[in-house]
Amino acid sequence: MRHSETGPLRRLELRRGRLALAVLAALTALALVVAPARAHANLVRASPSPGTAVDPAPPVVYAEFSEAIDFGYSSLEVLDADGQPVTTGPTEADPTSDAAMLVPVGDLADGTYVVVWRTLSVIDGHVIRGSFAFGVGKPVAADVAVAVASIESSPAASVSRWLLFVGVAVLIGGPLQVLVQRRGSQPERRRAVERRTALLLLGGGLLALAGQVGLLGTQILVLGGDSLLAGFGDVFGAGQWGALWIGRTAALVVALVLADQASSSSGERRGTVAFGGVALVGVVMAVTISLGSHAAALSDVGPALAADLIHLLAVGAWVGGLPVLLLVAWEARHARSDGSVAAEMTEVAARFSAVATVAVGLIVVTGVYSAWLQVLEPERLWSTEYGLLLLVKLALVAPLVALGGVNLGWTRPRLARAGVAGARAAKSLRTLMVAEIVLAALVLGVVGVLTEREPARQVSGDVPLAVEGVGASGDSRVRVRVVPGRPGPNTLEVDVVSREGGWAADAEIELQFRYLDTDLGTTVERPVRTDDGGFAVETDAFALAGMWQVLAIVRQPGAFDARVPVRLNIGSPTAIGVAEVDAAVAVRFWGMALAGMGFVLALATLARQGWAARVRQAGTGAGFAAILLGAGLLIIGPQQGVVPSAVNPVPPDDASVSAGREIYEAECVSCHGPAGRGDGPLAATLDPPPLDLVIHVPLHPDDALFGFVFNGIEGTGMPAFGERYGELDTWHIINFIQTLPEAARG
């Protein structure tokens, strides 16, 4: 009879293993092809730039954020020095971006103005408020008060997310361990463990349900403010938060029904279906969590969303399986201390360790990758709340992993001993597992708080920033660094290098500053040599935000003067302090992460203990395949099309502007009109209407304008001209349309 059961059970185990590998393969494929959306919509660029002075006054105030925003719940308000609004119309969405908006303003007199902004993230539903100041005609007043961006949240939201994370981990790891541990276990103890596990799953589901209810309540309060009714009406229509909440709740109800069936199921097949269904529902809930996470906020920088999902599933497989292993050990504590019980416990621990080893490896690899994406700069670990919480999380994870290592390397080998030694090892195993469960719960609590905080990469601050530019002429190369790179007082650091390797000690340098947007007079500064051989000077030459040219004239006895122009964008987007992710670096880093995950899988499945033979072989093969794919990504890198320069490399001389005008008149006048006001003969037939270039061109940097012309604007009538005209003509077009705002003023 026992032999007749072994064959079907073994085939069932192999099918489970193949299913697990199929899921892993699907996740790997997802990791390679997924393109995440662009959580927390913080300010990354504005026009006028924060803290800068402009002249003349702008017709609109523009703000771009770090991710897609819900325009129905986001707004800009511009106030004068007396706190009175100066806007002349409602906030409008920018047709060129799902993460930017603008608001028209009246004729602004010279003085300081404060822009108050509010955004609702389409991705995670978080509401952020902040403000910044700009000046018209003169610098920003020293006593103006602005608010650092802050998230509207509460401790209740963090607790709710903690309950949700704990519940989902139990729903993923609990049934997985039940299915893994079925092979070879004693029928009576197996049934007792499964009944208790079903109750555990019901408890985990109820924790997740409490978390869901708490998240709904806090979101209603955030959106509704004083009106709970308004908040309830908004919560399911704002962004994707409501849809994800509904989907997760529906999946949770299914999980509770299946867990109840598992608790009353007497047949093995029905129990397998019920437990497998709960695990699958847990995976679905994890997907909905990742879709509303910080990872989903990144755009075009690698598969951050896939890394987050793999990380979450691995946490569930490890942490959620710990209570089931504890139940197995608890059921075995009253069994006779004979060899069969010791052998069974040894096998149970080996199977759990096999799963846990892979899970911990995946957690480490994907955790490092995700942490890098959300922090980027090491100093943000200790200078931001997000970074400090991440360090606390790591401080709790370290002893958690250490306890797992003790169980793997010390406790498990002693379980096989009969008599008192085996009983002591089993007792130690139970004690250490309780400690692991407590630490895991604390880690998930920190993650609940972390999810409610602004990612470190998006935190803006008053740290000294800089704008850099490099120029070359003949044999000479000049690098100019401006700190902090905003209008007003700045420190200039200048490095000058010749092809021969440097300049004589008696060389002198003169800097001529010219504002490229207007006919401001030229300012001259003579920096002094520093101890490291460069030059430095304190200057007030940068009076306005915008593009400046610094002409470095280097004079050396017995040699011709070297004249090297350097262009600098003063008050550029980098002055806000939000760190930007380099997509090329992110993709190569993902190649390293994918290879690391493959190494973990291959190394773990090479061990014979705890794995079925075919599962072990397939796992090893999949691991080596992931290593090869990762190595390929690391070597080849991202496949990119035309990447525009950050600053227009084509000087806007008469020839370039004339060439751009010819193309504009041939291709663009029919929609944008001869003066660029969006009033061409075809304008009335387009929805949305063509942009008013007089307003919109000054709002965007050179590379963004290049993208609009070269690639077109999705969702509008703006076609792509790149294939027809190429890069050079695209820059000619940009040089011409950048003359339209000045022509409209004059």
Q: Is residue 603 part of a domain?
A: no
N- to C-terminal Cα distance for the chain? 97
N residues, the chain = 746
Q: Is residue 648 part of a domain?
A: no
Whether residues 137 and 178 share a domain: the answer is no
Residue 207: predicted pLDDT: 94
Question: 54 pairs with which residues across the strands?
Answer: 136
Whether residues 431 and 294 share a domain: the answer is yes
Q: What's the half-sphere exposure (Cβ side, CA atoms, 13 Å) at 555? A: 6
Closest CA to 724 of 738, 709, 734: 709
Give the Cα separation of 175 and 282 in Å (integer): 10
* DSSP one-letter code for 79: E
Three-class DSSP category at 114: strand
- Asked if residue 79 lies in contact with residue 86, where contact means CB atoms within 8 angstroms, the answer is yes
Q: Reading across the β-sheet that carries 562-570, which strands appear in turn?
A: 523-525, 508-515, 546-555, 562-570
Q: How confident is the model at residue 377 (pLDDT cuts 50, 70, 90)?
A: confident
Mean pLDDT across the chain: 79
Count of Cβ atoms closer than 10 Å to residue 304 Cβ: 27
Q: How confident is the model at residue 288 (pLDDT cuts 50, 70, 90)?
A: very high
Percentage with pLDDT > 90 across the chain: 20
- Asked if residue 300 lies in contact with residue 35, where contact means CB atoms within 8 angstroms, the answer is yes
Cis geometry, peptide bond prior to residue 674 (ω within 30 degrees of 0): no
Give the Cα separation of 25 and 17 in Å (integer): 12
Q: Is residue 296 part of a domain?
A: yes
Determine phi and psi for 119, rounding to 5 degrees. Answer: -130, 150
Among the candidates 576, 596, 625, a domain finishes at 576
Among the candidates 428, 459, 490, a domain finishes at 459
Q: Is residue 10 part of a domain?
A: no
Listed range (137-146, 167-176, 419-428) with the worst mean pLDDT? 419-428
Whether residues 420 and 544 share a domain: the answer is no
- For 169, the token pair is 């981990």
Averaged pLDDT, 51-68: 84
Listed range (81-95, 280-294, 318-332, 351-365) with the worst mean pLDDT? 318-332
Q: How confident is the model at residue 310 (pLDDT cuts 50, 70, 90)?
A: very high
Q: Mean pLDDT: which of 28-42, 143-157, 354-368, 375-389 is highest?
A: 354-368
Question: 469 pairs with which residues across the strands?
Answer: 480
Span 243-259, pLDDT tens digits: 889 999 999 999 999 98
Q: Mean pLDDT: which of 164-173, 483-492, 500-509 is highest?
A: 164-173
Residue 607: predicted pLDDT: 67
Q: Is residue 668 part of a domain?
A: yes
- Contacting residues for 266 by C-beta, under 8 A, at least 6 apart: none
Kindly tell me if the per-residue pLDDT of 690 is higher than 80: yes
Averaged pLDDT, 205-224: 87
Whether residues 672 and 572 share a domain: the answer is no
Rounded CA Rg of the chain: 31
Residue 312: predicted pLDDT: 93
Amino acid 134 reads: F
Give the Cα separation of 222 and 235 in Å (integer): 9
Whether residues 200 and 174 share a domain: the answer is yes
Kindly tell me if the per-residue pLDDT of 87 is higher than 80: yes
Q: Is residue 726 part of a domain?
A: yes
Domain CATH for 699: 1.10.760.10
Alpha helices in 416-493 (DSSP H): 420-451
Span 590-632, pLDDT tens digits: 888 888 898 988 888 776 565 667 777 787 888 888 889 888 8
Residue 14: predicted pLDDT: 46
Q: Please name the residue that has the structure tokens 């529902």.
A: 281
Classify residue 15 as exposed, middle or buried by CB count within 10 Å of its CB (0-12, 13-18, 19+): exposed
Whether residues 107 and 208 share a domain: the answer is no
Span 330-375, pLDDT tens digits: 776 655 455 555 666 777 777 788 888 889 889 999 999 988 888 8
Q: Is residue 207 part of a domain?
A: yes
- For 664, the token pair is 């504009």
Averaged pLDDT, 555-566: 78
Kindly tell me if the per-residue pLDDT of 105 is higher than 60: yes
CA distances 372 to 392, 525, 716, Å, are 16, 41, 36
- Which helix (H) or strand (E) segment holds residue 112: the answer is strand 111-120
Q: Please name the residue that has the structure tokens 């349900």.
A: 209
Kindly tell me if the per-residue pLDDT of 23 is higher than 60: no
Specify the higher pLDDT residue, 500 or 725.
725
Kindly tell me if the per-residue pLDDT of 566 is higher than 80: yes
Whether residues 121 and 180 share a domain: the answer is no
Give the Cα separation of 481 and 530 in Å (integer): 14
Span 501-525, pLDDT tens digits: 556 667 788 888 877 765 566 678 8
Specify the higher pLDDT residue, 197 or 22.
197
Give the Cα separation of 733 and 169 in Å (integer): 55
Kindly tell me if the per-residue pLDDT of 557 is higher than 80: no
Whether residues 382 and 256 share a domain: the answer is yes
Whether residues 559 and 479 share a domain: the answer is yes
- For 525, the token pair is 């500064």
- For 238, the token pair is 């704002």
Which residue segment(s) compose the domain that 724 sits in? 654-745
The total of structural domains in the chain comes to 4
Averaged pLDDT, 395-403: 88
Whether residues 87 and 179 share a domain: the answer is no
Averaged pLDDT, 645-661: 80
Q: How confident is the model at residue 299 (pLDDT cuts 50, 70, 90)?
A: low
Classify residue 500 as exposed, middle or buried by CB count within 10 Å of its CB (0-12, 13-18, 19+): exposed
Whether residues 198 and 281 share a domain: the answer is yes
CA distances 310 to 23, 354, 364, 622, Å, are 11, 17, 11, 15
Span 418-450, pLDDT tens digits: 555 666 767 777 788 888 899 999 999 999 888
Averaged pLDDT, 651-676: 89
Percentage with pLDDT > 70 across the chain: 78
Among the candidates 404, 433, 459, a domain finishes at 459
- Asked if residue 13 lies in contact with residue 183, where contact means CB atoms within 8 angstroms, the answer is yes
Domain CATH for 52: 2.60.40.1220
- Contacting residues for 274 by C-beta, under 8 A, at least 6 apart: 198, 258, 259, 261, 262, 265
Domain CATH for 518: 2.60.40.2480
Q: Is residue 672 part of a domain?
A: yes
Give the Cα separation of 46 and 63 in Å (integer): 4
Listed range (168-177, 296-305, 438-447) with the worst mean pLDDT? 296-305
Whether residues 247 and 187 share a domain: the answer is yes
Residue 6: predicted pLDDT: 43
